[in-house]
Amino acid sequence: MLNDVERYRIPVPHADLEISLIDWGGDGPLALLHHANGFCAGTWGVVAQGLRRHFRVIAMDARGHGDSDKPKGNQHYRWENFGLDAAAVADVLVARHGPVTLGLGHSFGGTALILAAVQRPDLFEHLVLLDPIVMPTVVNESPEIRAERTDSLVEAARRRRHVFESREEAYDGWKGRAIFTHWDPRALELYVTEGLADRSDGSVELKCPGEVEAAIFAAGAGADVMGKLGGLEAPTLIVWASGGNFSRVHFEELAARMQRGEVITAEVGHLIPMEQPEWVVRQVLRFNARSGSPAGSSRSNPLEENVPS
């Protein structure tokens, strides 16, 4: 499906690994896209096509995902490492293409962009976070219940089927599952095409190993992202999924802790860009046109006009 893209890898200086990128091109300012845990850069395809008229669109595979390197050991999958990776990727791309006018992250990918933008505020002009995973600092449940929920996510990732006889078998098996019921058909096709790797025996396997996905879930409980939000300088749009795992009140608290944060609602499940890709594009363009470039930026905003409804 992705025949008109450029694929390449870049090393990150803080770790002995390379991150894979997909570049959709485009003549506008830079947009850097980061996927959710367990997915890959290619699953942004429908959104990327909608944005490329306005941005130079580049998506990254997180470490352990897609075509990026997959280091062994849970210590490599602490959440702060993903923030460092995203900042390192942005640093390289900014040198080539100018500031990241748009950082667009879904779920855990949104969390990684928060950490990157706090670390390197000079790199990011705007952020759009689709149902980001930021754990509350205070919750009305016992540590045992929280641990049980985390353990269930970890075990589900480890038990996930990883090998299929073919992409056709994977597609036929996935399309009837509840998690994929509301997906845009193009998004599911992209996941089948981009999220599976060919094996030497002719079968295919998920590009994100279950142990990697599980390690990220396990590390989330100890990551204090909430406490870092006050250092987020870029205007930030948080998209709350009404069918997701957090309340709107929680996301409003996140926005209040940011220097320039706001919240809108998506009447969908957690997998927003797969369920409503065109809606995501519209909200991104509206937000960028409305918020403009941050104070002190010399770059004018190219999205003042022609924003679709």
Task: Say if 219 falls within a structural domain.
Answer: no
Secondary structure of 221-256 in HEC code, one letter for each residue: CCCCCHHHHHHCCCCEEEEEEEECCCCHHHHHHHHH
Dihedral angle sign, alpha carbons of residues 184, 186, 192, 196? negative
**What predicted TM-score, i.e. pTM, was given to this entire model?**
0.91
Residue 97 confidence (pLDDT) = 96
Rounded Cα gap, residues 128 and 258, in angstroms: 13
Which CATH number do you get for residue 287?
A: 3.40.50.1820
Specify the number of domains making up the chain. 1
Task: Say if 253 falls within a structural domain.
Answer: yes
CB distance 203 to 163 below 8 Å: yes
Pairing of strands 17-25, 56-60: antiparallel
Q: What is the pLDDT of residues 69-81, one digit of tens each?
A: 999 999 999 999 9
Task: Say if 175 falls within a structural domain.
Answer: no
Backbone angles phi, psi at 49, to 5 degrees: -65, -35
Rounded Cα gap, residues 63 and 93, in angstroms: 17
Rounded Cα gap, residues 237 and 263, in angstroms: 6
Q: What is the pLDDT of residues 214-237, one digit of tens each?
A: 999 888 766 789 999 999 999 999
Q: Which residue has the tokens 């930026």?
A: 297
Task: Say if 270 falls within a structural domain.
Answer: yes
Task: Say if 207 falls within a structural domain.
Answer: no
The whole domain housing 100 covers 6-137+224-291
Task: Say if 245 falls within a structural domain.
Answer: yes
Q: What is the pLDDT of residues 238-278, one digit of tens each?
A: 999 999 989 999 999 999 999 999 999 999 999 999 999 99
Rounded Cα gap, residues 106 and 120, in angstroms: 19
**HSE (CB half, 13 Å, CA atoms) of 40?**
27
Q: What is the pLDDT of residues 86-129, one digit of tens each?
A: 999 999 999 999 999 999 999 999 999 999 999 999 999 999 99
Task: Say if 198 falls within a structural domain.
Answer: no
Task: Say if 72 falls within a structural domain.
Answer: yes
Residues 6+ apart with CB under 8 A from 230: 257, 258, 259
